[in-house]
């Protein structure tokens, strides 16, 4: 990414309620393909926002941009009032460098469709690795924290097992514990149940439900499970062509969608299930 002439972006105003996540005018292109088209999206602290939409609509891209796994082409993303994609330099905002990104990423945790646990480490080691290496926690504190989280996701008994010995659902629960071990402010779920066998989806959604009910964590979830999205979300965003086509409380989106595209999509999805 070149250092382009950067538009002036307003800093967060004093007294204004600061959203936990703020996308402003964010565009992401792969060549000529526009994946995110001038996206504006605010997520409040403690809010659970679910992103739904047809494949290729840019929903996973939203999470990947927020996690800074890839760079955006233009616009800016704030997390907890601080710029994520940009950093302050000489009184202006320039594109964030790797070091700045690394610090900002600690605010965000991410769970992947294919879990991506480290296969050469046990469940416990997966959960203590980054806290020790990145947060420089001592081993005892990291183990304590990890054991608490593994207990919370119901995986404490399997703490000593390697991922290859765990089922998909179990791996995903460990992955959630691993992300939480960094104490993120925002947690991202990228189709976390899509690669699971139907009979184990419940154990993962149960953990997410628990997080929503008991913790004041801000969460963004991309999912194909409409029933779960309807039950758990504070807000549902329907993505189409890199834009938010329609958003609102789940009862509205699922009960009385306004946009024709939303109606079509939900019609097709509900028919399929």
What DSSP state is assigned to residue 164? G
CB of 168 to other proteins, least distance (A): 14
The footprint of other proteins on residues 96-115 (CB under 8 A) is: 98, 102-103, 105-106, 108-110, 112, 114
CB 186 within 8 A of CB 218: yes
Indicate if the alpha-carbon torsion angle 202, 203, 206, 208 is positive or negative. negative
Q: Which residue has the tokens 């538009």?
A: 7
Site for other proteins in 1-60 (CB under 8 A): none
Under DSSP, the state recorded for 158 is G
Which parts of 202-231 interact with other proteins (CB under 8 A)?
none
120 binds other proteins (CB under 8 A): yes
Closest CB to other proteins among 110 and 155? 110
How far is Cα 253 from Cα 243, in angstroms, rounded to an integer? 16
In the bound state with other proteins, the residue whose beta carbon lies nearer, of 102 and 215, is: 102
Span from 24-32, 156-164, 241-249, 253-261 in contact with other proteins (CB under 8 A): 156-164
DSSP state of 40: E
166-195 positions binding other proteins, by CB under 8 A = 178-179, 182
| Smallest gap from residue 73 Cβ to other proteins (A) | 19
Structure tokens of 153?
């996701």
Q: In the complex, what is the shortest distance from the CB of residue 118 to other proteins, in angstroms, rounded to a whole number?
A: 6
- How does DSSP classify residue 12? P
DSSP 208: H
- Tokens read off for 64: 């990947």
SS3 of residue 135 by DSSP = coil
Report the interface residues with other proteins, using CB under 8 A: 67, 69, 98, 102-103, 105-106, 108-110, 112, 114, 116-122, 129-130, 133-134, 162-165, 178-179, 182
């Amino acid at each position: 990414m070149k250092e382009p002439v950067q538009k002036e972006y307003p800093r967060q105003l004093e007294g204004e309620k600061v959203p936990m996540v703020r996308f402003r005018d964010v565009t992401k292109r792969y060549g000529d393909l526009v994946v995110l088209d001038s996206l504006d999206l605010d997520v409040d602290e403690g809010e659970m926002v679910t992103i739904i939409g047809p494949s290729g609509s840019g929903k996973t891209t939203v999470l990947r941009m927020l996690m800074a796994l890839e760079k955006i082409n233009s616009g800016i993303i704030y997390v907890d009032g601080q710029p994520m994609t940009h950093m302050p330099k000489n009184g202006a905002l320039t594109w964030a460098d790797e070091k700045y990104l690394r610090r900002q990423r600690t605010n965000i945790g991410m769970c992947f469709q294919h879990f991506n646990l480290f296969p050469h480490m046990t469940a416990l080691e997966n959960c203590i690795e980054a806290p020790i290496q990145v947060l420089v926690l001592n081993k005892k504190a990291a183990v304590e924290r990890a054991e608490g989280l593994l207990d919370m996701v119901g995986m404490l008994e399997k703490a000593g097992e390697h991922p290859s010995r765990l089922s998909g659902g179990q791996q995903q629960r460990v992955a959630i514990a691993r992300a939480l071990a960094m104490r993120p402010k925002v947690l991202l779920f990228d189709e976390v149940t899509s690669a699971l066998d139907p009979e184990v989806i419940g154990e993962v959604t149960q953990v997410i439900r628990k997080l929503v009910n008991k913790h004041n964590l801000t969460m963004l979830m991309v999912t194909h499970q409409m029933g779960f999205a309807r039950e758990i979300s504070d807000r549902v965003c329907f993505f189409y062509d890199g834009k938010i086509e329609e958003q609102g409380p789940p009862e509205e989106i699922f009960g009385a969608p306004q946009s024709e595209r939303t109606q079509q999509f939900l019609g097709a999805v509900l028919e399929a299930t």
